[in-house]
Structure 1
Amino acid sequence: MKTQPNSTTAAASKSPFGQLIKQKLLLFIIYAILIITAIAVLYPVIWIILGSFNPGDTINATTYLPESLTIKHYVNLFNTTNYLIWYKNTLFVAVMNMILSTVLVVSAAYAFSRFRFPGRKQGLMVMLVLQMFPSFMGMIAIYILLLQLNLLDNLWGLILVYAGGSIPFGTWLVKGYFDGLPRSLEEAAKIDGASHTTIFVRIMMPLSVPMFTFIAVNNFIGPWMDFIFARLVILSDRNKTLAIGLFEMITGRTNNDFTTFAAGAVLVAIPITLLFLMLQKYIIEGLKAGANKG
């Protein structure tokens, strides 16, 4: 025998008071998850920052309220290590990779989006397949290729590999954005006698600033703290990047200056943080554009 649902309970669940309780409970759960996530993210950041100002050579004794703070680790970083050379090398690689990668990605994406040529579909499929394999699978082949080109222990070897590796994913992303832009703008410009270069520079680029910024920032951050490939290619002290230099600072039996390492790690994060703060508007717009038109 089937029982009829309690009309009082059903009415209570549909009442404004019951809905308000559900909304408050859902809001509480969302805020709790966000707070826990923020603590998990910020805890190691605060810990490493305080560790860089903590006296001594270890950060294990670092507390949130240290008795004394010192900047001697930052002074030692510049006086006793080649940190400035590492920083200059890394900044050079990141900036040049950002410029070269953005040019290659945007040019390839525009060609695949707006032109029809033999091998277009095959080229897109090849780039799609290349994204399925982890990058370290080709490191031996890349090492041999750089050796033959005399680009080992050369910063340009890093730049060329980073730039080439960013093409498949970046091309698909930017191509999806270009596909979403109306072709009527280009057709009107062609009627007025504009060339493909003029259309790209004066029409497509201004409309694609958020996406270009997103690609440029990603290509800047990519090599900033890459360790595995840089460790494979860079052999001399004068070409070391930040990741290699900081790693060697705390490895080995005699290298245990963890507080100086913490100071170096804090300075590493400054350019990326400033870049995000200055360009966060365009980065967010680029993410939304890629999600909607990709």
Structure 2
Amino acid sequence: MKHFIINQKINKFFNRFFTYLFLIVLSVIILYPLLITVQSAFNVSNLAAFALDTHMKWTLDNFHQLFTQSLYLTWFKNTMLIVILTMVIQVIIVTLAGYTYSRYRFKGRKNGLIFFLIIQMVPTMAALTAFFVLGLIINGLDQYWYLTMVYVGGGIPMNTWLMKGYFDTIPRDLDESARIDGAGHLRILCQINLPLAMPMIAVQALWAFMGPFGDYLLAAFLLRSPENMTVAVGLQQFIANPTNQNVSMFAAGSFLISIPIVILFLFLQRYFKSGLTAGGTKG
């Protein structure tokens, strides 16, 4: 018995040790690049490459140059317009589609879900030519609305599956109880299912918001004019030339990108909960 207790304590110690070791390593991997970016953004000297300097001099000149010597404010405005439209449109479509596939049975339902999976398997690189040709046909090249529609269309298939799966976890007994009380389809959706699905809707909104901020490939391929570029495409110009890089301004612009994402995350954080439907039905 004593030997068993000792072994149990040793196993518990090693479990805690390796758990904390993993968390520490993961924190270093995540925080180290962030520290370098923040430091580069406020550094007096323009670094030739990203580096962590403990004796740097702090300044706001990089941000001043970013606003006065580049089109960063224009790029930021373009990006905010695209991400807000993408988030709103995608969340509405995905929520309604996921609810429809979860709650209703109709002809072509199974084939529609399979089609979404097949579409999701096609990588973005393979569809670039199709996006370009379609944009050329409908006069969508170098247009915000076309890039927004590409983002929305690319996010619908897999996110619809995720939203459907979340609606499947909401007990159907709640719908039946509401129907007995005389509630219609729209009222059941808006007053019962949507409040219970807010955690997944919040996640969908955050994903849709973050996607265009970090995307370079599609934006660079479909937007041509400097005044129509997004932040990701515009910032790439600062480090595109190996012989004339402006790492400090690049880091300053990257730092500013994180601000709206952090604000949205803090706003949606209250919805990132689980178990909201627990106890929703009797028995």
Settle same-fold status: TM greater than 0.5.
yes
Q: State the 1:66 CA deviation.
A: 2.1
Decide whether aligned partners of structure 1 residues 172 and 63 sit closer, same or farther in structure 2, where only a CA change above 3 A counts. Answer: closer
Q: 1:68 aligns with which of 50, 57, 76?
A: 57
Other structure's SS at 1:166 match: helix
Range with bigger deviation, 67-76 or 129-138: 129-138
Alignment of 1:172 onto 2:161: yes
Q: Is the 8 A contact 2:41 2:248 kept in 1?
A: yes
The residue that corresponds to 2:183 in the other structure is 194
Q: Is the 8 A contact 1:59 1:259 kept in 2?
A: no
Decide whether aligned partners of structure 1 residues 55 and 61 sit closer, same or farther in structure 2, where only a CA change above 3 A counts. Answer: farther
Alignment of 1:148 onto 2:137: yes
The residue that corresponds to 1:84 in the other structure is 73
Alignment of 1:275 onto 2:276: no
AA at the equivalent of 2:58: L
TM-score normalised to structure 1 length: 0.88
Range with bigger deviation, 129-138 or 54-63: 54-63
- Cα offsets for 1:45-95 (capped at 9, x unmatched): 101111112122215484442242211111101111111111111111111
Other structure's SS at 2:214 match: coil
Q: State the 1:184 CA deviation.
A: 2.0
- Cα offsets for 1:145-192 (capped at 9, x unmatched): 111111110011111111111111111111111122122222222233
The residue that corresponds to 2:127 in the other structure is 138
Between the two proteins, what is the percent identity of the paired residues? 38
Decide whether aligned partners of structure 1 residues 64 and 56 sit closer, same or farther in structure 2, where only a CA change above 3 A counts. Answer: closer
The residue that corresponds to 2:106 in the other structure is 117
Q: 2:13 aligns with which of 17, 24, 27?
A: 24
- Figure out how many residues of one structure are paired with residues of the other and give that number: 277
Q: State the 1:254 CA deviation.
A: 6.4
The residue that corresponds to 1:35 in the other structure is 24
Other structure's SS at 1:70 match: coil
- Write the distance in 1 (CA, Å) between the matches of 2:50 and 2:107: 64
Q: Is the 8 A contact 1:54 1:66 kept in 2?
A: no
Alignment of 1:160 onto 2:137: no
- Cα offsets for 1:27-49 (capped at 9, x unmatched): 11111111111111111110111
Decide whether aligned partners of structure 1 residues 84 and 34 sit closer, same or farther in structure 2, where only a CA change above 3 A counts. Answer: same
Q: Is the 8 A contact 1:153 1:234 kept in 2?
A: yes
What are the equivalent positions in structure 2 for 1:1-12 lying under 5 Å apart? none
Q: State the 1:281 CA deviation.
A: 4.1
AA at the equivalent of 2:95: V
Note the residue ranges of structure 1 that are not aligned, 5 or more in a row: 1-10, 290-294
AA at the equivalent of 1:270: I
- Write the distance in 2 (CA, Å) between the matches of 1:262 and 1:50: 8
Q: State the 1:20 CA deviation.
A: 1.2
Decide whether aligned partners of structure 1 residues 187 and 73 sit closer, same or farther in structure 2, where only a CA change above 3 A counts. Answer: same
Q: 2:35 aligns with which of 23, 46, 51?
A: 46
Give the alignment's Cα RMSD to 1 decimal. 2.0
- Write the distance in 2 (CA, Å) between the matches of 1:170 and 1:67: 44
Decide whether aligned partners of structure 1 residues 155 and 255 sit closer, same or farther in structure 2, where only a CA change above 3 A counts. Answer: farther
Other structure's SS at 1:224 match: helix
- Cα offsets for 1:113-140 (capped at 9, x unmatched): 1111111111011112222221221111
Note the residue ranges of structure 2 that are not aligned, 5 or more in a row: 278-283
Alignment of 1:224 onto 2:213: yes
- Cα offsets for 1:255-284 (capped at 9, x unmatched): 421111111111111222232233234235
Decide whether aligned partners of structure 1 residues 19 and 195 sit closer, same or farther in structure 2, where only a CA change above 3 A counts. Answer: same
Q: Is the 8 A contact 1:211 1:285 kept in 2?
A: no
Alignment of 1:265 onto 2:261: no
Other structure's SS at 2:70 match: coil
TM-score normalised to structure 2 length: 0.91
The residue that corresponds to 1:128 in the other structure is 117
Range with bigger deviation, 48-57 or 211-220: 48-57
Q: State the 1:12 CA deviation.
A: 5.4
- Write the distance in 2 (CA, Å) between the matches of 1:22 and 1:64: 40
Q: Which protein has the larger Cα radius of gyration, Structure 1 or Structure 2?
A: 1
The residue that corresponds to 1:107 in the other structure is 96
